[in-house]
Amino acid sequence: MRREQLPLYAIALAVLVVGLAFAGVPLGTVLVLPLILVCPLMMIFMMRDMDHAGTSHEDDHSSEQADLRDHHDASGR
């Protein structure tokens, strides 16, 4: 999720809450559903960020290995 998209998500959430209120969904249900969804959503976002960190680390490691191979090739070993 990019920070530029946060206002759009906030507007969509507000429209959803107002729509649920007009549909007659009790306020307690509207408040409990986000509490139930917090844990899985937080895991999704946290694991996504961990994946990007791991990928960049592997890329750095691969470039270091390529540099070492180039150095060994240049020295004739």
Per-residue pLDDT tens digits for 10-66 = 899 899 989 998 999 898 888 888 888 888 888 887 887 676 555 555 555 556 666
Task: Fill in the DSSP letter of residue 24.
Answer: T
Q: Treating both helix axes as pointing N-terminal to C-terminal, what angle do 27-75 and 6-22 enclose, rounded to 10 degrees?
A: 160
Count CB neighbours of 3 within 10 A. Answer: 6
Tally the domains of the chain.
1
Range of the domain at 63: 3-75
How many helices, marked H, and strands, marked E, lie in the chain?
A: 2, 0
How high is the pLDDT of residue 19?
A: 92
How high is the pLDDT of residue 22?
A: 92
CA 61 distance to own-chain centroid: 23
